[in-house]
Amino acid sequence: MDFDIAVFGDLNIKKLKDLGNPFVEQIVDKYVKLCTPSKVTVITDSDEDIAYLKQRAIDNKEETPLDTAGHTVHFDGYYDQARDKENTKILIPKGEKLSKYMNTADRDDGLEEIMGLLDGIMADREMLISFFCLGPVNSRFSIPSLQLTDSAYVAHSETILYRPGYGEFKNLNGSDNFFHFIHSSGELDENKNSINIDKRRVYMDIEEERVFTVNTQYAGNSVGLKKLALRLAINRANREDWLCEHMLVMGAKPEGKDRITYFTGAFPSACGKTSTAMIPGQLIVGDDIAYIRKADDGKAYAVNVEQGIFGIIENVNPIDDPLIYRTITTPRELIVSNVLVREGVPYWLGMGKSLPADGVNFSGEWSLGKTDSKGNEIIPAHKNARYTVRISELDNCDPKLHDPEGVPVSGIIYGGRDSDINPPILQSLSWTHGVFMGATLESETTAATIGKQGVRKHNPMANLDFLVLNLGTYIENHLNFGKSLEHVPLIFSTNYFLKDGEKFLNDITDKKIWLLWMEGRVHNEFDAIKTPIGFIPLYDDVLSLFSQLFDKPFSSELYVKLFSIRTEKLLGRLDRMEKIFGEELEMPKSFNEELVNQRERLLSTKNEHNKDVISPYDFV
């Protein structure tokens, strides 16, 4: 392949040629000719190349240095602050159908539209070509990934979030077995924000394992290797009989015991996922996306797809999240986005201190009382403001973060945001029942997605937004994966958001209690009470954990409020689930049976006790 030396330069051409991969060269040639950048820079795994990206982001004014060494701030446009579900589409061939919850477009039409949007979009700009590895390098989990972008902020973010992959591409020996991503921020305003938000598009072409994203900077839309690669990997996992999940990976360490028990966990955005992975005294492998495979010993093993965290910064404070707070307020390479900045210092909502009355935020120059074009008051920092940092910078980073074999999974957690139904912790009655628990997960919406907040949404395995195959197929994969294992992980559900009126019944830090109860159940150290919806803790065990871990009382009255079974509300949720899954094609028979059995257990229990809300003591 001959490249234009005036655009590439000798060194960048050499970097591409050294890969010995004609498929990489074809992709690069195609999109350079389409997007017409005036300059192309190829980024390898070298420290020099990675430093170049950060400096370019600063020089381009996509990032601004802050007072703390290594920290920068990035602002997305006022209307580019969350994942754009409406314009995020799966491209499928004519005649094919997916679940109605999945946003699709005709593949031919979508490709024609996106190629039109990309045509000449990088004129007079620099295209950055980067190579990454999803999962640890030199591993059966590894998926090499190629990123083309005109945003140094996007490329810089990816060097923090993902493992370098130039070497992995050399190891491909010319294979086309990799993902690729094409991104452009599009036309920018004076604040370096995308202007043409009405033409914001995120299109996933599963057939060629590629993603296109244009006219957006918000990382959830633009950082291709995150939630966009998640879709591609879910499709690949379906073909290859493993699981790609929207899950944390963490190691639980009970005090006074010499062991680490690994869990994965799926939580919709803003439902406690990152803070669970960051519980003091525990170890973090990852906070967002996991690949899970069966190993020769019959166990499930998981890896963190990423090496960094793109976390919500709201309410990160020294009391509730001391590990994260210390990390993001001390010198290291770190990006914060869409916070308030005054005199080089960032401020965010819920940080535990008063915020200044003026500064710079995602709306530009800001002062208290500022309104937008519709007269809405602009808050000082966005509720979906973020921080980006490497996990290795955290004090509780697990030594197995980059282990190519992964970590053995003993438990799986499904957690939602639910104010009035589920107890704070449940263990499933079986693997099939656990898959049912994950598949019927509901959560109240937050600022992490565009749209109204506080609406109860069905979100199976916290992964509905990212599925590219029918829901029945996805659930059946989970059922079959468990059947294939000789050592099956226990499955739990958590709910940190149960309320009594407007007051939360649990403190934020109480999640450590529920984690260590789960860890004890894995090792048969706690008994449990069997209820129609799963196993719940005994009062004495919870009382003991609160006393040992927090030197904190735990009343029998609170226990009853937390662990009562609310049969009428649970039956109402089953009604919603029956309607949802009744419209799905080819649901697994065992899943439908589980739904029927759950209803029968609840009705029987309600009739037996002749009341809607049943105390946990009634089951003893």
Residues tagged active-site: 271
Q: How many CA atoms lie within 13 A of 114 on its CB side?
A: 28
**H helix intervals, 18-72:** 22-35, 47-59
**In this structure, are residues 172 and 21 in contact, taking their beta carbons and an 8 Å threshold?**
yes
Is 231 within 8 Å of 206 (Cβ atoms)? yes
Q: Which of 22, 23, 25, 27 is nearest to 12 (CA)?
A: 25
**Residue 383 in tokens:** 């509720």
Comparing C-alpha atoms, which of 124, 177, 133, 130 is closest to residue 153? 130
Mapped onto helix, strand or coil, the DSSP state of residue 114 is helix
Amino acid letter at 280? P
Residues linked to residue 214 through DSSP beta bridges, in sequence order:
184, 201
How far, in whole angstroms, is CA 184 from its chain's centroid?
Answer: 22
Task: Tell me the C-alpha distance between 229 and 233, whole Å.
Answer: 6
Tokens of 235: 């499709």
Interior angle at CA 111, CA 107 and CA 112, nearest 5: 120
- DSSP code at position 616: G
Residues whose CB falls within 8 Å of the CB of residue 127, separated by 6 or more in sequence, listed in order = 31, 32, 35, 37, 39, 40, 41, 148, 149, 150
Do residues 217 and 153 lie in contact, with contact meaning Cβ atoms separated by under 8 Å? yes
